[in-house]
Structure 1
Amino acid sequence: MRPAHHHPEALAGAKTLIITNGLIGGIQGAAVGLVSAVVANKYWTRYSNLTRQFKTFVMLGFIIGGGCWKVDTGLIEYERRLQFEHLQAQKQQMEDAVNRGEYVDITGRTKPATGKN
């Protein structure tokens, strides 16, 4: 489902961000999982007795968790940046309208500054 308030350019940027941050987060999660597995295998005797399938499951948890975390934080930052750019554009529009002697209400409609519609 595509949100109605986003432009196609913003959605393309979000898709790129999801792919890159998913890969980066997955690699970081794999690194943390690998170090954790080596340490657990060396110092925790019960871990070495676990099945390979369960160890793989735990490793996938690190990979998927890292990827999801990185994507989520990246999308939050991206949404904040889009909102900031929108507010800056709206502010510029209002300043331009004031310079032209017009009034812009919160909906973005321009009216003459005389108060008459």
Structure 2
Amino acid sequence: MLALTRARVPDARLMQALFPPLPFATGAFDRLVTANFYGLLRPAERALFLTEARRVARELLVIDLRSDSGTHQERHEVRTVEQDTYSIYRRRFTPQSLSTELDGEVIYGGRYFLVVQV
């Protein structure tokens, strides 16, 4: 992905790092945006991510999947890429479940996605 990005945006500053910690100084950003990532994290990973996100940014926007059923869902889902099949942990949120968990405000409650500002 870094090579592809470098080819498309040669002047961009690119970073590759293991998490945690995020490789940025405390307060480095005004806003951190995450999309379709938070719902893949298990409880311990969520706590680490939120601690680091709050450390490096004054504001956090979490964009993730809205539940089709109207109830909060946590489950393993099967994915297939070419000939490989694997299981992922995936959560789908209601506006209330995501905003309560993050202690934030729903700023977009669409049919497929939610955005919560923390």
Question: TM-score, normalising length from structure 2?
Answer: 0.18
Larger radius of gyration: 1
Normalized per residue, the structure richer in strand is 2
Structure-1-length-normalised TM-score: 0.18
Which structure has more helix as a fraction of its residues?
Answer: 1
Higher relative contact order (CA closer than 8 Å, sequence separation 6+): 1
